[in-house]
Amino acid sequence: MSAKIVKAAAFVLCGALTLSTGSAMAQDAKSLDELLKFVKQGQSSEAKENRAREAKFSKDKANQASALKRAEAERAQQERLSAQLEQAFEENELLIAAKQKQLQEKLGTLTELFGHLTSASGDLASNLEVSMASAQYPGREQFLKDLISKMSGSDTLPSIEEIERVWFELLREIRETGVVTKFSAEVSSPAGERAEREVVRIGAFNMVDINGNYLSFDNGSLSELPRQPSGPYTGWAAELASASGGMHSFGIDPTGPTGGSFLAAIIDTPNLEERWHQGGYVGYAITAVGIFAFLLAIYRLVVLTAVSSKVNAQLKSDTAKENNPLGRVLKIHEDNPTMDTETLELKLSEGVLKETPKLESGLTLLKIIAAVAPLMGLLGTVTGMIITFQAITIFGAGDPKAMAGGISGALITTVLGLLVAIPTVLLHTVVNGRAQRIIHILDEQTTGMIAEHTEANLRS
């Protein structure tokens, strides 16, 4: 009995699994008989679906066989077409070879002519691409390129007009290298703005605008150099641009068509301000010391000039004035007319000694600055060389230009030191000469007064 129950339960479980996926009606069965009925209905419907699938598979198999036959027929047709095309290709190759041979026979000596023409056109096209005359006559190189492409083919030949135009462009380029002409062209400013300007072309070397600014020609376009050469070059260019004839000075760069290396070297040359900044902090210190020395020397020179004029006026006066060193020394003699000679001499010497430091004030400082300025320049040079060699240690010495630039910058401080020391020595000499002249007058006058005083005592 238990075995039957187990079989029945298993049957019910299998039927439930089948009905759960196939039909929702099994969920409403109220008894085993009704469940059995539903299962039977499901089996019959599944059998119908399976037969329908088998029929569809059979039909698809027949269709696949038919499609395979059609594909095989298409492949055979394409293979026959491929064989025909290969045969036609081989025949055309033979025909092309025969035509080329026929063309070579007809050309004869013209083949060598066209070879030379192609070579000359290629060289001329490369020259015209960088020629400054192309700014006035654009598009010349494109004609030559098209002609080269035409002559490189085997189906067409250049015409007489095209050959003559090559000769014409060659002669025109030769002519344009020796003329100075003015024309309008679109020029780019350093800020990137483009505008029409009057342009003067000096042969095939340089171009300037009406204001004297040098222009560069690159990739068929004109642009103003971001930095113009210093010196009289821009003034000469402006004068030439505004002239209508005659002889005029102008700075020509003969390497202009090949890059303008001379003009670039002039432009890259630092001006005085840039060279001064290359000295760095040591250079700034030397400059400050030099300015102080110059102002001190000028001040002392003005003071000594004023004192010298007062001393000269005192020499012409019979009364002592205390507004000058000589007057103050003479005042000592006037205040002590009866003093003995030895004491008066000591008093006058004391007066001269009191006036001497005032007259020689600043001279020692000028002498020290004249001696220290070259040493400061040497200090800047040594530190600059240390920095340069440190950079060489890190980055190597592959660029001699950069290394030379660092050494040049290091030597700027030595130049600044000498520029301060030499004028300071000269100013010290001038100022010291003025001071010594006044001191000499004081010594001369005191000696004279002592002699007069001694003579007067002897008479009395």
Q: What is the pLDDT of residues 224-281, one digit of tens each?
A: 888 888 778 888 888 888 888 788 888 888 776 555 667 776 776 677 787 888 888 8
Q: What is the pLDDT of residues 80-111, one digit of tens each?
A: 999 999 999 999 998 888 877 776 666 556 66
Which of 224, 240, 231 has its CA nearest to residue 187? 224
Q: What is the pLDDT of residues 133-184, one digit of tens each?
A: 888 888 888 888 888 888 776 566 778 888 888 889 889 888 888 888 888 8
pLDDT at residue 28, rounded to an integer: 59
Angle at 420 between CA 418 and CA 426, to 5 degrees: 100
Q: Look at 363 and 21; give whichever has higher pLDDT.
A: 363
**192 dihedral zone (left: phi>0; alpha: psi -120 to 50; beta):** left
The answer to whether 370 and 424 are in contact (CB under 8 A) is yes
The residue assigned the tokens 């969920």 is: 27
pLDDT at residue 108, rounded to an integer: 58
Bridge partners of residue 249, in order along the sequence: none
Confidence check: pLDDT of 5 > 60: no
pTM of the entire structure?
0.54
